[in-house]
Structure 1
């Protein structure tokens, strides 16, 4: 990149917004995947408002320079890691949150963390449901970019169900406002939904209007351990026939033991799998729903089933589930998966993942948002051993193809990013892939937005 072009950008923005030193840029190279293929950006723009985002995009359009948008950098698909010669557009400084109690919405900037929105809503007796495991460190902009879900989505839906409006900077620097504080609005094409889940390839979100709901009541918790993952998965399918639980999470033996090694919490290390199920049904129906959950677990061979109404006890098990990825970090490098299938195919998918791990001689601990068929296998390998990495990457592709064969998806909520783009067409087919590219070319004809990602 021409240094004169970078100086032009620096001159157009306030002092300290543009950084170019190697030490300053290092933090913007990688996302949570820490993938070795991350490139070297020429500059990073730490935008403070929408006008600075517009200025950056107009500059990039003039010079045909790629822009990688970035929030908190917690992407698990390589979607926010840098490419060589790009400019990273960091939105971390745009973090304001405003609650409109009368309209029951949060108006937020993209750098605000999910937990900050939850806290601001809770202070007004409201709740923002989308609940990724990384909710304490992931940004709303990233959640919108990947249509994040999380532990509560089995009952309460995913990010797109809560986005009522947004401001988006397009590839030519134009800022458009889509939707607003209106609950119902069908004027024009559903462009709002087009940008949710687009992974920064179509535009840069600079403001979002998020729907809030009344605060969730404390949940009752059922914890069941099973001899095998297959038994636990069968119980999940059974639950789906009769219960609308607010959380249905699964941990396999490897994940249970990884968490216990990292932070002992009293989990049963000998269990083949653990199911964590919660009910927030109204008090009149709560006992009946909990009884149905217990019965489904017992029907499918649970070794032990415990239920509690104590919120602190329930939260302890939720915290154990959330620790999965963090607990695996000390064990080596990791390729995090995010494959999903229709719930009836969940037992078969989990069996396929186990077989893939054995075939390639790699460890694949699995947790799952089991109630909606979304699994998170994590392929652990030794980054210093080329053969270990080779086997891990073969397993990574095999897991995605297994999900596709079962009528599922290569990503339920993490996004395609750069790590999974080679398998996208295998899932959606050439015609739909071409349609994706036509949309991308219409909105970003020069391909400057998040280059190297899925389209």
Structure 2
């Protein structure tokens, strides 16, 4: 009986998908429309745990703006939900499919359309890989600063969708500060152009900023005008060891209060350091409770690092070691970039929190996470963009153990609650997606949520764009 019901449901899905696929093929090449269930299942979710994902009816991989418009017109006419995706490196379930949806993968729209050294802008399609853009503009003596840890895999469109940050944001800021203008395909297929190519521009409401961080719920970004900066000098890194997270946090406060502007200020706790060593044999000091990495890309980085090192020693650093050259600096940065992957290897599954607090309360958050870890008997590693208070407490657990999974979810929620108690936010750069919907409502409050839902209705009255995310 159960099998017959499943087969009947599959037949219904096939019938429902038939007109949809036929209509899509009317404006897309056959190779851009994927219907094999084994293939479409691989597009069902991003990298987040504890986020439900449905079964897409079809996956489409457009290469042109016109093809994206065709997809959205078709979806509007047939009232079919559309889930936009980049590289699916997200950590909140924002790219997870819903049952019967069109997954709109933008990875084939991967052209860098223009690099303009005079106006210091790049014009790109959403599927461009972050690292590929960085390397391309470097050939012109320029830099695109936002650099998430997944920069070798993540796309610019995904970065825009979640308003990504990165390791260098303490000095150079986050994605939102570099998006000057966008071309966006709306839910009904119309093409909206927002923003500008100029340094300044305040004409009308800032719709560009509205789309940055909207997680594909308001429209499909198909082109972006991005601000660039002159390529900075090569940075030099310093590593400082501390006997506690609180001491490392004190050093961060001293550095920022002293007016220093490091290009990078990152923290790895003992659990994270050990995980990185276990994975890559990098020889990081496991005797430390907290390892602070700082860097300067100034004309005299050695002098700047010396001044910063002195502040670390005043805060109780047990050892301060400047990198001798660029190669040693890159090794330390590579250790930081692989932190989340290394923590996942501890137990096989992780829940990666994204709590951001005022810098002055960073130590309280770290101590609170330690208490939560002990309470639930779980390994929780903390890695942080310490310079802006954005922490990633990472809960390591065995997903096949129901009790451990329950404790992991409870600890994750307790960390978010702690972040709000400390005057912070539930997400600094990963987004809300499915994972934090309830927490968005708690943080924002009823009036804000009413206004946000009104904006959603204005852009997507049929609620077909990434439904079930954010709200």
**For the superposition of Structure 1 and Structure 2, which TM-score range results when normalised by the shorter chain?**
over 0.9
Cα-to-partner distance string for 1:302-349 (whole Å, 9 max, x where unaligned):
111011351111111000000111112322211111110010010111
1:218 maps to 234
The whole-number CA distance in structure 2 between the counterparts of 1:292 and 1:428 is 40
SS of the residue 1:65 aligns to: coil
The whole-number CA distance in structure 2 between the counterparts of 1:309 and 1:123 is 26
1:40 to 48, 52, 55: 55
Q: CA deviation at 1:287?
A: 4.7
Q: CA deviation at 1:115?
A: 0.5
Please tell me whether residue 249 in structure 1 is matched to residue 266 in structure 2. Answer: yes
2:153 maps to 137
Q: CA deviation at 1:352?
A: 1.0
The whole-number CA distance in structure 2 between the counterparts of 1:233 and 1:83 is 41
SS of the residue 2:188 aligns to: coil
2:287 to 252, 270, 276: 270
Give the paired residue count: 453
Please tell me whether residue 373 in structure 1 is matched to residue 392 in structure 2. Answer: no
2:329 maps to 314
Q: CA deviation at 1:288?
A: 4.5
Q: CA deviation at 1:65?
A: 1.1
Does structure 2 retain, via aligned residues, the 8 Å contact 1:160–1:196? yes
The whole-number CA distance in structure 1 between the counterparts of 2:250 and 2:54 is 43
Give me the CA root mean square deviation.
Answer: 1.2
Q: CA deviation at 1:282?
A: 3.1
1:357 maps to 373
Does structure 2 retain, via aligned residues, the 8 Å contact 1:219–1:309? no
Unaligned runs of 5+ in 1: none
Q: CA deviation at 1:6?
A: 2.5
2:296 to 244, 258, 279: 279
Describe how 1:43-442 pairs up with structure 2 within 5 A.
43-97=58-112, 98-242=114-258, 243-283=260-300, 286-308=301-323, 310-331=325-346, 332-442=348-458
2:7 maps to none
Q: CA deviation at 1:37?
A: 2.0
Does structure 2 retain, via aligned residues, the 8 Å contact 1:33–1:78? yes
Q: CA deviation at 1:273?
A: 0.6
TM-score, reference length from structure 2:
0.94
The whole-number CA distance in structure 1 between the counterparts of 2:87 and 2:99 is 20
The whole-number CA distance in structure 2 between the counterparts of 1:10 and 1:379 is 44
The whole-number CA distance in structure 1 between the counterparts of 2:117 and 2:266 is 32
Q: CA deviation at 1:7?
A: 2.0
Q: CA deviation at 1:15?
A: 1.5
The whole-number CA distance in structure 1 between the counterparts of 2:163 and 2:42 is 24
2:8 maps to none
Report the more deviating stretch, 300-309 or 1-10.
1-10
The whole-number CA distance in structure 2 between the counterparts of 1:80 and 1:395 is 24
Q: CA deviation at 1:279?
A: 1.2
Does structure 1 retain, via aligned residues, the 8 Å contact 2:232–2:298? no
TM-score, reference length from structure 1:
0.97
The whole-number CA distance in structure 2 between the counterparts of 1:355 and 1:216 is 41
1:31 maps to 46
Unaligned runs of 5+ in 2: 1-12
The whole-number CA distance in structure 2 between the counterparts of 1:262 and 1:307 is 24
Cα-to-partner distance string for 1:97-136 (whole Å, 9 max, x where unaligned):
1312232211100000000110110111111000101100
SS of the residue 1:16 aligns to: helix
The whole-number CA distance in structure 1 between the counterparts of 2:82 and 2:190 is 15
SS of the residue 1:442 aligns to: helix
Report the more deviating stretch, 18-27 or 372-381.
18-27
Does structure 1 retain, via aligned residues, the 8 Å contact 2:217–2:456? yes
Q: CA deviation at 1:36?
A: 6.1
Does structure 2 retain, via aligned residues, the 8 Å contact 1:250–1:369? yes
SS of the residue 1:206 aligns to: strand
SS of the residue 1:12 aligns to: coil
The whole-number CA distance in structure 2 between the counterparts of 1:123 and 1:281 is 20
